[in-house]
Structure 1
């Protein structure tokens, strides 16, 4: 009888020790986060956490100094603080805005003469986006945005082909100006914008105007 009691006590103690050991080895609740590898439309990095939930992580805008260019060449967010533009860079940005105003006004005048004709009806919308991209940069750096002077003497075209030739000349002038502005610009985000707008002029707008002559 005593042997049975001793055996029961021994087994009970072994079970207690085993249960305690298992509890100590049980995994703790942890959350593992993956690298920041997604970006939303607001410039927020999407952090895909190990628990299946997405967390938005705010990232400061890369406003100055060397850095990587993001999709579309508009400047990659890198956490760098804003570095003021030099006087030359500020003047260059204002010249770019005025140049895009000129193209926008020209194409609008063609639409007023000939109606909503292609490719002017499409390209005039793109030119407004160009103006918006540049004015956003000016606002970011605290640079005065020049007013749109309009066309003091709108050209009168006898044919749509003549208007298209004027479009060719305007896009070539845009591209040449950006070549000049990039030589005096150091900020990577501005260079990215200039590259993007110049590419749109040469690869999209220019061929469209050449085809309609």
Structure 2
């Protein structure tokens, strides 16, 4: 009887010891694996989101709103209207290309940037209590003959867009409007234009 009790005690002790050794190992393996994978996934997600919001293609909303609200002139109202109208046109152009040829790059990437450009200009309209100009371009852009043709059209569109902002600087002196115009011009000239030039060169 005493022998049986001793054997049973040793057996239980051995099992408990084995569980105590194995369980933490399993927990570390599963926990670190899951946590690491989740962490990498979250980091990758943040990376993708961050990559989509390039500094050249946007102006920090909080920074814009923190700049002084100055008197807005009629020239500045006109300049805002011309800028927004051209961004509407760009968006409609790239929407039509995507409708005709599918989600081809760089159109699918740049149309997202155009949406941000419009949103940045809308922030200025809201800040100054102005009525935005209407979008007359949506659904009113003709189709290109090919994706290469569309890229060529877009090259000229980005050249014209950057040139427009260069001209509009003479109409504005408010810090926030100037900052947004500079950001949008640089995005067009330094990012969008080279992307479309590469697209057109591929033929």
Structure 2 length as normaliser, TM-score?
Answer: 0.65
CA distance in 2, matches of 1:122, 1:97: 19
Q: Contact 2:92–2:139 (CA<8 Å) still a contact in 1? A: no
Q: Say which SS state the counterpart of residue 66 (structure 2) adopts.
A: coil
Rounded to whole Å, the distance in 1 between the matches of 2:183 and 2:70 is 22
1:74 and 1:196 in contact (8 A); partners too:
no
Q: Distance in 1 between matches of 2:199 and 2:141?
A: 21
Q: Give RMSD over aligned pairs.
A: 2.1
Alignment-derived partner of residue 100 in structure 2: 113
What residue ranges of structure 1 are gaps of 5+ in the alignment?
1-69
Say which of 190, 194, 198 aligns to 2:181.
194
Give 2:27's aligned residue.
Answer: none
Aligned to 1:125: 112
What is the CA–CA distance in structure 2 between the aligned matches of 1:101 and 1:83, rounded to whole Å? 26
What secondary structure is seen at the aligned counterpart in 1 of 2:193?
helix
Shift of 1:73: 11
Greater relative contact order structure (CA < 8 Å, 6+ sep): 2
Structure with the higher helix share, 1 or 2 = 2
CA deviation after TM superposition for structure 1 residue 71, in Å: 6.3
- In 1, the alpha carbon distance for the partners of 2:84 and 2:128 equals 14
Choose from 158, 161, 180 the match for 1:174. 161
The structure with more radius of gyration: 1
TM-score by length of 1: 0.62
Task: Write 1 or 2 for the structure with the bigger share of strand.
Answer: 1
Contact 1:92 1:181 in 2 (8 A): yes
- Residue 143 in structure 1 maps to residue 141 in structure 2: no
Counterpart Cα distance in 2 of 1:77 and 1:124:
27
Runs of 4+ in 1 over 6 A off after TM superposition: 70-73
Partner of 1:205: 192
Cα distance between partner residues in 1 of 2:123 and 2:163:
22
Q: Distance in 2 between matches of 1:71 and 1:83?
A: 19
Give the secondary-structure state (helix, strand or coil) at the position aligned to 1:212.
Answer: helix
